[in-house]
Amino acid sequence: MKEKIRIASGQGFWGDLVDAPYKQATGGPVDYIMMDYLAEVTMSILQKQKLKDPNLGYARDIPPLMNRLLPVIKEKNIKVITNGGGVNPFACKDAIFEAAKKLGIKELKIGVVYGDNILDKIEDLIINGIELNNMETGESVKTILSKILSANVYLGAAPVVECLKQGADIVITGRVTDTGLTLAPMIYEFGWDMSNWDLMAAGTVVGHILECGGQASGGNFLGDWKSIPDLARIGFPIAEAYPDGTVVITKHENTGGRVSVETVSEQLVYEIGNPKDYITPDCIADFTSIHLEDIGENKVKVIGVKGLPATEFYKVSMSYSDGYSAFGSLTYSWPEALDKAKAADEILRTRLNDLGLKFDEIKTEFQGYNACHGPLAKNIEDLNEVVLRIGVRSHDRKSVERFGMEIAPLILTGPPGVTGFAGGRPKPSDVVAYWPALIPKSAVKAESLVEEL
């Protein structure tokens, strides 16, 4: 058993700093790099890509990243774990092997975790009494059955651990939880009993700290954000983990950002719901039991985490087609910029109503005034400029198309001092809606496979 391991956060989402994993691998000692690419909507995007091309469906940033990263991780014996396999982890594996061949790298083992994609099994599940009803509204999944775009189970750390046991240098997964990507190497390296709920919770908490990349090391910091040094060169967080569940959050020396109790605390409360019951496939973590302690510059100790047994269910993240939307914008200048924008909004809504168009929702924002704070926005007099941004949503595509034709006419038939219209008429875009559900763990088979180049 190792005395400690260092797990580096490499990505917080698909679109994060592309150089972050390479800098984590080269900036100092690390044993693992964890890269989180997936959000709920990402799976539907990837599913659409796979339908167009069976060789796609994964985060396409990964192969070019591996061109730089593979020589480093082989030299330094760093393992990489990522859920960037999306809905096609096997194609992602093949693309990495292809990159390795071009680099002349041999003896590379890649593990694949699959079994999370249940898109083609939904009807059979319903026949067997597993309804997949919306866990928030109770609505039957049968109401959206013909419109489902993607359906993925949130797997936990166990299948990732199996890949590591088989010697995988890289583990590519589908929809494995963000926290499971970090918990898995701790289970593997320290031989943790997966029914020791306090240890599972400790690893889960650490995974939650790392999952958003630079957000735990000073990025997007709501506190004294101006005091965070050198955000342009922010160092992503690293978890220095010990067998007893103690963890120190830090970052590489000579990098920007800051790791402190404050920055780590902000990340801990990100998207957690009930802090006493943070439910994952691996355990239930009690975030109210966490103790944080500054133990030096850019070093925060995490201790005391308590956990409860895992539930009998996995969460399922489903997406479905729910109509169309379009957005348009115009900029109104001083004087009376806000009054002009409001008048233009009223004129446009009147015209849409006179045309008898059908919309489920019409939403207006006055950017520069209330786009962020809505009705809580403070009244500001004599604004230099305001951007009128208006969007519509409807199941009637023709109504959305006609909306797009009504924006530009405001330039010559509405209030004066208008600019900012470019790019042509707004076009309808598909609306992808989210459907959360629960599924018994007994109905899902998580699988692991390791292949060697």
| pLDDT at residue number 142 | 95
Write the CA distances from 311 to 118, 179, 271, 287, 308, integer angstroms: 20, 16, 19, 17, 9
Eight-class DSSP state of 272? -
Average pLDDT of the segment spanning 319-327? 96
Q: What is the pLDDT of residues 184-202, one digit of tens each?
A: 999 999 999 999 999 999 9
Q: What is the pLDDT of residues 34-51, one digit of tens each?
A: 999 998 778 888 988 998
- For the chain, the domains span 5-116+154-311, 322-434
**To the nearest whole percent, how much of the chain has pLDDT over 90?**
94
| pLDDT at residue number 180 | 98
* Least confidently predicted of 270-274, 328-332, 419-423: 419-423
Average pLDDT of the segment spanning 114-131? 95
Q: How many residues does the chain have?
A: 453
CATH class given for the domain over 322-434: alpha beta
Write the CA distances from 193 to 4, 58, 159, 177, 239, integer angstroms: 17, 32, 15, 19, 20
Instruction: Return the H-helix or E-strand segment holding 64.
Output: helix 62-76
The model scores a pTM over 0.75: yes
**To the nearest whole percent, how much of the chain has pLDDT over 70?**
100
